[in-house]
Amino acid sequence: MGMLAVRKARRKKKHAYYIITGVAFLMFLVIGLALLNQALLAFIVLIVVGVFSAVMLPKMLGLYMQEIVEAVQETDVSAPLRIRDFLLG
């Protein structure tokens, strides 16, 4: 998910996608800390990421709703289906 978000951030020039990548990285950091028996530090990072994600949720939902509206507007329902229609991106 993180690399796709970076690609979207560069293509669409929206910095909010970098937040998704940062959250994904921090979650991997939590897993790494937990595997290294740093439970307290992993818990602190997990709480910080959770609070940050909760604060950013309205902005991210607005961004996704905007993407859905753009996708619906760009969709030509009268065009025949192509293989590309079933692939990501």
**Per-residue pLDDT reduced to its tens digit, 15-57:** 777 788 888 899 999 999 999 999 999 999 999 999 999 998 8
Give me the pLDDT at residue 48, please.
94
Q: Residue 16's domain spans which residues?
A: 1-58
Backbone angles phi, psi at 82, to 5 degrees: -125, 165
Q: Would you say residue 63 lies in a domain?
A: no
Phi/psi of residue 25, nearest 5 degrees: -60, -45
End-to-end CA distance of the chain: 13
Q: Where is pLDDT greater, at 8 or 89?
A: 8
Pick the residue with more confidence: 2 or 8? 8
Mean pLDDT, residues 45-73: 88
Mean pLDDT along residues 52-81? 85
Within a domain: 69:
no
Residue 44 belongs to some domain of the structure: yes
Using alpha carbons, select from 19, 15, 16, 17 the residue that is nearest to residue 4: 17
Give the integer Cα–Cα distance in Å for 27 and 82. Answer: 36
| Integer Cα distance of 64 and 5 in angstroms | 12
Residue 81 lies in a domain: no
- Which residues neighbour 1 within 8 Å (Cβ) at sequence distance 6 or greater? 20, 24
pLDDT of residue 10: 67
Whole-model pTM: value is 0.62
Domain count, the chain: 1
Evaluate whether residue 51 is within a structural domain.
yes
Residue 78 lies in a domain: no
Residue with token string 């800390």: 33
Report pLDDT for 63: 82
